[in-house]
Structure 1
Amino acid sequence: MDYYFKGDYPLSGQFLPLLKKDGLGAFSLKIFKLDSNKFSTLDALILEQYYLLNKEFNLNTLRVVNAGASKGEGVYVYDLTCSTLYYHASSKIELKRVLKIHPETCTKYIDSKIPYLNKFLLLSFLIPTAIQSNLSMAPLKVSELVSIMQKERHNMYTLGTRRSIPVLLEIKKGNTFVPPDTFKDSGVVDSFSPDTLSLLHFDSLTSCIDYLSGLGLTIKRDTLSKYIKSGKEFHNFLCKYSDKALPNNFDNVGLIIDEYKKSRSAGDSPLRGLSKVDSQKVAKLDSLKVNKKNKPILIRHAIKGAVLEEFESITDTIKYFLKINIKLDRKSLYLHLKDGKSYKGYYFSYK
């Protein structure tokens, strides 16, 4: 609500210009408190949709309730040992709606090995050995999880540590932004590796970005966060989250996350070492993320059965058949890929 009380908002739409002109006194605020034992989140959304469609309330520019994305990258909320799964959201929008975690905050913490609110880990993948917590079983229990998070947010906000994550900046050999002898014997830099000339400590990502900006190197927060997660060097700098930001005995969890990232980037199966049942769970989840539109397509001769052509996408396949005067649209190709039947003397299949 601070957004409206402060008055610092763009004069767009129908409501905000009137609010700026007439002030808060010209409007009334009615709050509906729904008993969580009787009503679910969906019930609240239905009630909101009712008022959005009510012609009496004619200042609503958007008349469709934001029910969250039905598709998206799943987010898993674990404890710090990854032994307990508190919540699984099908998308970042759902995570924001249910647990009040902003999508940008989610992007910052997911798969980063940095605890969210000092108590939780946000991961993009399922750990089959994790036990599902009772907190995620019912709306009332989810409200308890939200309450725990809200309390921790309040504590961190009071202490002024909500956004401060200590980071380390390694200055590598060959760096042209910082002279090699700049920090020599300064007492504030530690030796880290043979390729590292200097190691700087920063209390937050912002202070690190400010330091780089002072050197004439402009980098966005999101970009630097991505470099930290992937371990990517930039201009002979390497930025990492400090060990101070990690809980004790965090090595095993860090290895789990690193192994998952390696297996995903290399295209290997991350299912090695899991039981058959657990492997099937992960495989089922991963199969939902496969984008078949960009999978290679094989064209076989209906009589000889030999592979005639291989195409990188559906679009390339359609273009090829147009060249040989065979009409084939996207919908038809999907059907032929699905049923496996012959069409004009050809079979279609994914590689």
Structure 2
Amino acid sequence: SNINLSDYDVFMSFTYLFLKNKKPINFNFTNISNFTSNCNSMTKIDKEHWKTILGRKGQIQFSHKLAIEQVKSQKPVNFKVINEILAYCNISISEVILNRLINVPSILIKNLDTNESKKIFKDNIGSPSSKIQIPGVYIFTHKITGAKYVGSSSQLAIRLSGYLNYTHKPIGKFVPLLLKDKLSNFTLEVIPLVDTYKFRSEIVLEQYYLLDPSFNLNTVRVANNPSGSNAKPLFMYNRDKTILYYSSTQQKDFIINLNISHFTFSKHLKNGSYYLGKYLFSREPILNVKVREFSILELALQLEKDRKLFNINKPLNSLSKTVLMCLDNNTYSKEIKGDSRNMLFFSIGKCVEHLRSKGLTATQTTLVKYIDTGKSYHGYIFKYV
């Protein structure tokens, strides 16, 4: 179905007025001029803001213009062109990186409607229910006409499942054609990207192909990045990458939740060395890895035990020891499960700060005394970990 652009603008204007006024808009359909006057009363700043929202102004609009000009010129695509277009999402690459991405091995599937193709998908990119999703680029080619469509996703298995099961909405050029001609009339090239770049390389490679005029089923020539985030997930594995302990898109989660210093984390991530002699930080997603179902508290406790063994010869005063706080009617055991009754603090000072934030009187000296005696303090039992 076609959407009249002016109708779309009206709809978005309603949305804008609602958000700006922060209260419901009362419509009086006997006097439609009420809405007209509201629209006309928009300030100059409002109107300029809307040009950006509707894609008629701003960096993203400039990116679309650059992309269209590049496609029309039919000139070779280089890293500088891609950097200009992807400046809107703060991605910048080198010629070396672009060449590496272009030459990443791909998987070509000629018969998409067979059980064998399903096995190929599962073996190479996992399934939609996989804990770890592989990012990458995919290219559909019509067997008869040669028409092509390129797309990318940080979750290839989930995205491709929508095409293979005909669940994507019939918009644009490609999906309606796929629904009409079915999978049997298409080949699919999949390019899994399990690199260790900090940016989302699938967006870069998709952008490279989008600037090729032969991809005539694509209606938009700028790679879409709806989340606005270019951060790739970070993973914490065992040494041989057979077990996944933790993952996050933000480095600060490792620092705050697991008490790993920024310097230490960055050093091991960059060098590929082992944290505490047994953990590996990586940006590389490993398919079919065994996921260890730890709560953050359980993992933090395990790391504290590992630190004790690893740093056995390093001096440690009582104030820098890690403290576990639990309700006094909560029996502590080595198998303790993480919940709201248990909290882990990576120093005596942090624990005291927490108690004071709850309006409780606490000092480091007093807390150490109660830890040593094992007595209840403000209704809690405190233990060194």
TM-score, length of structure 2 as denominator length: 0.23
Larger RCO, structures 1/2 (Cα 8 Å, 6+ apart): 2
TM-score (norm 1): 0.24
